[in-house]
Amino acid sequence: SPQEDPVLIRPFHGHTAAVTGVAFNANAEGLVTCSVDRLLILWKLKTQCRAYRFAGHAEAVTSVEFSPDGQVLASASHDHTVRLWIPCIYGESSVLKGHTASVRSVSFSHDGYSVVSASNDKLIKIWSVCYQRLLFTLFQHTGWVRCAKFSPDGRIIASCGEDKSINIWDTRNKICVNSFSDYEGFATFVDFNPSGTCLASAGSNNTVKLWDIRTNKLLQHYKVHRAGVNCISFHPSGNYLITASTDGTLKILDLLGERLIYTLHGHKGPVLCVAFSKGGQEFASGGMDTQILLWKTNFDTLDYEEVLKHNFRTQIDDPPPLLDVYPRSSHFHDEKLKSVEVNPTFDVPDKQTPDPIVIDIGPS
């Protein structure tokens, strides 16, 4: 049960253009961000706060992610490449070339062995992290591919594109086994819930949808934003979803209660990216205003530990049927849903602590 509303811990400034991606490492001691300014910044959050700025991409960076063990960073860029970085002071990176247009998203498999990239060349490519080479390519999208993600068990990939389709791919047979269509716009971002039974999509038409990928049914449908939704992130418990929108707000949805619980203000202009930390106690957001905002959640960590115990008791059991958790019909939720408004400008957060000194790490 919530003890208090989410609070803004502090803003970070270091990018000179829109922040397009944000991701935590496994222990939430590091946060990586990427930007239209072509740079990645690694923020060390715990000990004396420091930041390291990595240069290497020739054009805007669109997406960034830590490997599950935190030893590697992957980034995607309008320069048609994916880069793998060792996040250390040498700034070493290797370039994965194969796409012929802007790469829009990059994401690790949960074992850290593979990376999936999605591109405006209408292709999805899967790369070996260890051998730094292309493994295979998936093609069926007829428009720019905006996002692609591995399921938690690595057996499927979900992708979405401007052809208005969300595709489900079997990674073993390398074929598209299912497709959802969204005729009211296109999905800009997709992500799996932690158990891998459900897929959430963010829409250019202001919507957020939850799909059961086993029954191919639409479970929940939210229209709580006033402009396109750019990014979503599941809380590790799977019970909450946070959304980032061009309307300048972040919203937190309670999926079990099927309701909007928080509307968070703080960015000036569109919010482009958001991510929960792996433990769920924090989340970070980035936007057109070049700011990164670091927030503290109020979700009960005890519940999360119980969920982990339940989910990882055995790998053989199928996850419980989603209908035990989510509603039996796809309820439509519109913006009349009332929520708690959190505006950190009224409750002034830490303005005293200066931004960490950013140390420039040049390309190797």
Whether the CB-CB separation of 295 and 6 falls below 8 Å is answered with yes
The pLDDT value recorded for residue 212 is 93
Q: Which two tokens stand for residue 69?
A: 């063990």
Q: What are 326-363's pLDDT values in tens digits?
A: 444 556 676 666 778 888 765 555 556 677 888 888 76
The pLDDT value recorded for residue 344 is 76
CA 105 to chain centre: 10
Q: Which two tokens stand for residue 335?
A: 């913006």
3-state secondary structure of 6: coil
The pLDDT value recorded for residue 4 is 75
The pLDDT value recorded for residue 249 is 97
Name beta bridge partners: 168.
158, 178
The pLDDT value recorded for residue 362 is 73
Domains, the chain, with CATH or none: 17-310 (2.130.10.10)
The pLDDT value recorded for residue 181 is 82
> For residues 324, 327, 329 and 330, what is the CA-based torsion angle, rounded to 10 degrees?
-130
Q: Is 329 exposed, middle or buried (0-12, 13-18, 19+ CB in 10 A)?
A: exposed
Q: Which helix (H) or strand (E) element contains residue 114? A: strand 114-119
- Specify the pairing of strand 331-334 against strand 217-223: parallel
What is the Rg, in whole angstroms, of the alpha carbon atoms belonging to the chain? 19
The pLDDT value recorded for residue 28 is 83
Q: Which residue has tokens 């070339």?
A: 97
Residue numbers of the chain with a pLDDT score lower than 50: 1-2, 302, 304, 307-308, 310-328, 364
Q: Which residue has tokens 């932690």?
A: 194
The pLDDT value recorded for residue 355 is 79
The pLDDT value recorded for residue 321 is 42
Tell which residue, 352, 353, 325, 342, has the closest CA to residue 251: 342
Rounded CA-CA distance 217/198 in Å is 10
The pLDDT value recorded for residue 38 is 97
**DSSP assignments along 32-45, one per residue:** EEEETTS-EEEEE-
Whether the CB-CB separation of 14 and 41 falls below 8 Å is answered with yes
The pLDDT value recorded for residue 311 is 44
> For residues 20, 105, 206 and 323, what is the CA-based torsion angle, rounded to 10 degrees?
-130
Q: Which helix (H) or strand (E) element contains residue 303? A: helix 301-311
The pLDDT value recorded for residue 88 is 80
Those residues with Cβ within 8 angstroms of residue 288's Cβ, 6 or more apart along the chain or in another chain:
18, 267, 268, 269, 270, 272
Long-range contacts of 166-174 (CB under 8 A, 24+ apart): 166/190, 166/199, 166/201, 166/211, 167/140, 167/141, 168/199, 168/213, 169/124, 169/138, 171/126, 174/136, 174/138
